[in-house]
Amino acid sequence: MLSVLFLVLFVNLRLAYGLDSGHDPEINMTTIQMAQWWGYKEANIVYAQTEDGYLLEMHHIPYGRNGK
């Protein structure tokens, strides 16, 4: 009985958080799109080149979810 309860809880959690493969809305999103999906209105890409030639892509989220 207890194991059935845990199974139901587990399935409900998976559905609630969209973890089933193919149902995760974030699966094809870019990092910037994910930030916006989670309520961060502004998210920017910043590029930097290191002295030895590597190109770094950084994601800057300047404000919290409520814009502060």
Please report, as ranges, the residues that interact with ligand NAG according to CB under 6 A.
Answer: 27-28
Closest distance between ligand NAG and the C-beta of residue 32, in Å? 16
Amino acid letter for position 39:
G
Q: Which is nearer to ligand NAG, 28 or 49 (CB)?
A: 28
For 47, 54, 60, 67, the CA distances from 51, given in Å and listed in that order, are 13, 8, 21, 35
Q: Which is nearer to ligand NAG, 2 or 27 (CB)?
A: 27
Q: Which is nearer to ligand NAG, 26 or 42 (CB)?
A: 26
How many CA atoms lie less than 13 Å away from 9 in the CB half-sphere?
6
